[in-house]
A and B are shown apart, each in its own frame.
Chain A
Amino acid sequence: MTSAEERAEIIRLSAAEIGAAVKAGTYTAVQVTEAFLDRAAEVDGDISAFLHIDRETALAQARSVDTRLASGADLGPLAGVPVAHKDVFTTVDMPTTAASKILEGWRPPYDATVTARLREAGLVILGKTNMDEFAMGSSTENSAYGVTRNPWDLARIPGGSSGGSSAAVAAFEAPLATGTDTGGSIRQPAAVCGLVGAKPTYGGSSRYGLIAFASSLDTPGPFARNVLDAALLHEAFSGHDPHDSTSIDAPVPPVVEAAKRADIEGMRIGVVKEFAGEGYQPGVLQRFHEAVETLESLGAKVVEVSCPSFDTALAAYYLIAPSECSSNLARFDAMRYGLRVEDDGTRSAEEVMSLTRAKGFGPEVKRRIMLGTYALSSGYYDAYYGSAQQVRTLIKRDFEAAFKDVDVLVSPTAPTTAFPIGERADDPMAMYLADLCTIPTNLAGNAALSVPCGLAPEDGLPVGLQIMAPALADDRTYRVGAAFEAALNSKSGADLLSTSPYAV
């Protein structure tokens, strides 16, 4: 049996520390898993981070890991560490719904590559986390199963679309979580919950078994409470996957080594001029400018960089992503899996399909399918989708030009801190602005990381610093992130999360 004190001690540990403690025999995977299951049972009523937790399934996985370790298996540094998966990754032993009614109760016949690799590495799946339906949104208010709350302020959003994952880690219900980032859906929730979140290089982490939203943008990535933990999770599920034809056949960048190095003496850092001004909260900009000063004090050379096409990135994204979504979501046709309604024997397949999709999809998903259908329709294709693809070329060129002069680019991760639940619900364009700073990276396929950079003075809520690097240079983002994290912790005397209302 584990005492209450030991349980509190376990959930305070970082993922790296838990892995080391399990390896040393200080705790078993079962003890660790129990501690987090108990924590979730205690606080998830407030947060609603999880859509599915099955205590027995989680403990059975933990027992299996303990058995493998006892027989001498070397499972890597995260063996015995629990992880929460965004409900967009398929899992054979629990439902996968993408937070949609159209997939309610669906049990996939196979594991996603991310899921399978983490199981193989001895991580224990605690459950599936809430999200915006089919990853469409920036607030987790679009889930068909209810909103998730930000542990820093329960009246506010936890970010989106991976908001369940960010809230679970920020409330110490899980030491690690997975998410997907299509336009900022890992970095933005990480920023507003005071966490570290990474969008790996597109193609660096496999999309196999990921319920597709926008295939040219979707990227699985990690959430953690610190940079090293994020790097460990990143490394554990990344790398070439023959099941995904867009997966890059190249070695995983040395992100763990970079997170341990934490030295940026002589690095060249570019501040993106276009990410400031109207729509940015003053406290966010204040913390960002202080972060840039900190990077300079650590020996980096900071210059201002202009990326003029970034101003059009949001517009291009809201043509490209809905176009791909309208195509990807055609698979929900009421024939092979998922919901089917009104099949009374008199209706045609097409009628049943239309009625099922109207009932099964929520408002944001319908809006994006319609927008995508419009952008791809005859007569409008060149003006909208075609032009958006040209803008994408310009954004890639802006990045290429910038990375000739600097090693990484930095910006605020999100223009504001977490906004109140419901504030932007009826205004799609206001909601879309939450991903203003993160979208260019997705369009170009680069690597990016968000690390906490303090609390905004006006509302006391977390602010994120975004660090962007060229494709396959993910290690640079971790190197800068780790150096900055160490400097901030040393300056404030504690890590940011230890000051949150749900800290343990």
Chain B
Amino acid sequence: MSAITRDEVAHLARLSRLALQEDELDQLAAQLDVIISAVAKVQEVATGDIPPSSHALPLTNVYRPDEVHQGLSPEEALAGAPAVEDQRFRVPQILGEEE
């Protein structure tokens, strides 16, 4: 099993939307390497035609009647928001100027 590199950790951090510090990247590279080496043994056992279980119990789709219910009021839904404007969530810019 190849060691996990610091560049890979930086890539994972970008995918995970975590702006990690330089020292965190170093520390995580070492720790993830140890953890991944330890958990890699699942590959030795999981061979052949064993069906995967995503869940402990068999799942079936659950339907419910399409009925109108009282939901949260706009005030309740917005109560925990970091920023609100005109009864909406105010978010930072999503599209850059070039877009």
Could you list which residues of chain A lie within 8 angstroms of chain B, going by C-beta atoms?
106-110, 202-203, 216-217, 242, 245-246, 248, 309, 312, 315-316, 318-319, 326, 330, 333-340, 343, 345, 347-355, 357-358, 361, 363, 366-367, 369-371, 373-374, 377, 383-384, 386-394, 396, 428-429, 442-446, 471
| Residues on the B chain within 8 Å of A387, using CB | 42-43, 45-46
| Residues on the B chain within 8 Å of A107, using CB | 79-80
B41 to chain A, nearest CB (A): 5
Q: Beyond A319-B39, A370-B16, A370-B18: 10 further Cβ-contacts under 8 Å? A: A315-B40, A335-B82, A347-B93, A348-B92, A354-B18, A371-B32, A384-B42, A384-B43, A388-B46, A390-B46
| Residues on the B chain within 8 Å of A337, using CB | 80-82
For the complex of A and B, 6 pairs with smallest distance between CB atoms: A445-B56, A389-B52, A337-B80, A390-B46, A340-B82, A387-B46
B35 and A246 contact, CB distance less than 8 A: no
- Quick one: CB contact mask for B4-21 with A, threshold 8 Å, 1 for yes? 100011001111111111
A444 and B82 contact, CB distance less than 8 A: no
A391-B56 contact, Cβ under 8 Å, with A367-B31, A371-B35: no
A246 and B38 contact, CB distance less than 8 A: no
16 contacts between A and B (CB under 8 A): A216-B54, A216-B56, A333-B17, A336-B81, A354-B18, A354-B19, A357-B16, A358-B21, A367-B32, A371-B36, A373-B15, A374-B4, A384-B43, A389-B52, A428-B31, A444-B56
| Residues on the B chain within 8 Å of A446, using CB | 56
When C-beta atoms are compared, the residue in chain B nearest to A393 turns out to be B53
How long is the Cα–Cα vector from A398 to B6 in the complex, in angstroms? 39
A340 and B80 contact, CB distance less than 8 A: no
Task: Choose among B15, B59, B72, B76 the residue with the greatest number of A CB atoms under 10 Å from its CB.
Answer: B15
Among the listed A106, A203, A335, A370, which residue makes an inter-chain contact with B9, where contact means beta carbons less than 8 Å apart?
Answer: A370
Interface positions, chain B 16-68, Cβ under 8 Å from A, are: 16-21, 24, 28, 31-32, 34-36, 38-43, 45-46, 50-57, 59, 62, 64
A357 and B55 contact, CB distance less than 8 A: no
A315 and B57 contact, CB distance less than 8 A: no
How long is the Cα–Cα vector from A315 to B45 in the complex, in angstroms? 11
| Residues on the A chain within 8 Å of B92, using CB | 343, 345, 347-349, 351-352
B80 and A366 contact, CB distance less than 8 A: no
How long is the Cα–Cα vector from A392 to B57 in the complex, in angstroms? 11
A47 to chain B, nearest CB (A): 30
Q: Is B83 part of the binding interface, using a Cβ–Cβ cutoff of 8 Å?
A: yes
How long is the Cα–Cα vector from A476 to B20 in the complex, in angstroms? 48
A335 and B43 contact, CB distance less than 8 A: no
Among the listed B19, B52, B77, B93, which residue makes an inter-chain contact with A348, where contact means beta carbons less than 8 Å apart?
Answer: B93
A336 to chain B, nearest CB (A): 6
A429 and B15 contact, CB distance less than 8 A: no
| Residues on the B chain within 8 Å of A357, using CB | 16-19
| Residues on the A chain within 8 Å of B72, using CB | 109-110
How long is the Cα–Cα vector from A390 to B49 in the complex, in angstroms? 9
Among the listed A109, A334, A445, which residue makes an inter-chain contact with B77, where contact means beta carbons less than 8 Å apart?
Answer: A109
A383-B57 contact, Cβ under 8 Å, with A334-B82, A366-B18: no
How long is the Cα–Cα vector from A383 to B77 in the complex, in angstroms? 41
Among the listed B4, B19, B55, which residue makes an inter-chain contact with A355, where contact means beta carbons less than 8 Å apart?
Answer: B19
User: What class of interface size applies to chain B in its complex with A?
Assistant: 35 or more
A394-B81 contact, Cβ under 8 Å, with A389-B52, A471-B57: no
When C-beta atoms are compared, the residue in chain B nearest to A472 turns out to be B57
Task: Choose among B39, B40, B50, B62 the residue with the greatest number of A CB atoms under 10 Å from its CB.
Answer: B39
B91 and A335 contact, CB distance less than 8 A: yes
B35 and A309 contact, CB distance less than 8 A: no
A358-B56 contact, Cβ under 8 Å, with A312-B45, A336-B81, A394-B45: no
Among the listed A202, A318, A355, which residue makes an inter-chain contact with B56, where contact means beta carbons less than 8 Å apart?
Answer: A202
B42 and A315 contact, CB distance less than 8 A: yes
How long is the Cα–Cα vector from A76 to B45 in the complex, in angstroms? 49
B17 and A353 contact, CB distance less than 8 A: yes
| Residues on the B chain within 8 Å of A309, using CB | 45
| Residues on the A chain within 8 Å of B46, using CB | 386-388, 390-391, 394
| Residues on the B chain within 8 Å of A388, using CB | 39, 42, 46
A428 and B89 contact, CB distance less than 8 A: no
B53 to chain A, nearest CB (A): 4
| Residues on the A chain within 8 Å of B79, using CB | 107, 109
A374-B12 contact, Cβ under 8 Å, with A348-B96, A393-B52: yes
B94 and A349 contact, CB distance less than 8 A: yes
| Residues on the B chain within 8 Å of A353, using CB | 17
B38 and A369 contact, CB distance less than 8 A: no
How long is the Cα–Cα vector from A373 to B24 in the complex, in angstroms? 16
| Residues on the A chain within 8 Å of B77, using CB | 109
Among the listed A246, A349, A386, which residue makes an inter-chain contact with B52, where contact means beta carbons less than 8 Å apart?
Answer: A386
B61 to chain A, nearest CB (A): 8
How long is the Cα–Cα vector from A160 to B19 in the complex, in angstroms? 28
B82 and A315 contact, CB distance less than 8 A: no
B45 and A373 contact, CB distance less than 8 A: no
How long is the Cα–Cα vector from A216 to B52 in the complex, in angstroms? 14
A36 to chain B, nearest CB (A): 30
| Residues on the B chain within 8 Å of A343, using CB | 82-83, 92
A383 and B43 contact, CB distance less than 8 A: yes
How long is the Cα–Cα vector from A416 to B50 in the complex, in angstroms? 33
| Residues on the A chain within 8 Å of B89, using CB | 335-336
When C-beta atoms are compared, the residue in chain A nearest to B43 turns out to be A387
Task: Choose among A245, A387, A429, A442 the residue with the greatest number of B CB atoms under 10 Å from its CB.
Answer: A387
B16 and A340 contact, CB distance less than 8 A: no
